[in-house]
Chain A
Amino acid sequence: EAGVVQSPRYKIIEKKQPVAFWCNPISGHNTLYWYLQNLGQGPELLIRYENEEAVDDSQLPKDRFSAERLKGVDSTLKIQPAELGDSAVYLCASSLGYRDHEQYFGPGTRLTVT
């Protein structure tokens, strides 16, 4: 069974440029999460989807970040415009449902903003 797929794995952009990350969750997993992980820190939730509905986006900086999950499967996280402080690893995870205790993580996208 394929795990959570993320692309790209690495991205280097200049500040003020837009960037997008893509995530394909495990087949059948209704719940999808985007996390931000700064160096030396644990993951912090940005947004959680139940199918195509964003049920928790309280930590998503909505002035520059946006996300979508069309058809309740793949998801895209976008930053526009990127700032130096956005340099981090962006993790996607999925689970069968929000009550499921186990989240399966992708390898992450490492973003460097110069």
Chain B
Amino acid sequence: GDSVTQMEGPVTLSEEAFLTINCTYTATGYPSLFWYVQYPGEGLQLLLKATKADDKGSNKGFEATYRKETTSFHLEKGSVQVSDSAVYFCALLGGYQKVTFGIGTKLQVIP
């Protein structure tokens, strides 16, 4: 079946540091890929998405590129802020329209 593997946290960074959260996937066919973010006390919300190979999703300074050859969708941001502290989930939409989530990576940004 489909699966998503993302780096375990927590990840602690200083403000303005570069962020990378790794995500790799296993799926049949051509899944769509997503990053969701969950801020403290809130529900998950879509951060960005990519629906085909080589697509780049971007939002709020975050970027991720759909790499079919490496089955990866790593999340990056050039300069993180304290307000980016949250849990980030990599996910894919595969066969039968089912979304599979990774375990989530907690990011803590310190001033």
Cβ-based interface call for A106 (8 A): yes
A-side contacts of B102, CB under 8 Å: 42
Question: 6 new A-B pairs (CB below 8 Å) besides A4-B43, A56-B96, A101-B93?
Answer: A41-B104, A42-B101, A56-B97, A102-B49, A105-B44, A107-B43
| B contact set with A: CB distance below 8 Å | 4, 32, 34, 36, 41-46, 49, 51, 89, 91, 93, 96-99, 101-104
Cβ-based interface call for A65 (8 A): no
Q: How large is the interface on A (under 10, 10 to 19, 20 to 34, 35 or more residues)?
A: 20 to 34
A-side contacts of B44, CB under 8 Å: 43, 91, 93, 105
A40 (CB) vs chain B CBs: closest residue: B103
Cross-chain contact of A42 among B32, B49, B91, B93 (Cβ < 8 A): B91
* A91 and B43 within 8 A (CB): yes
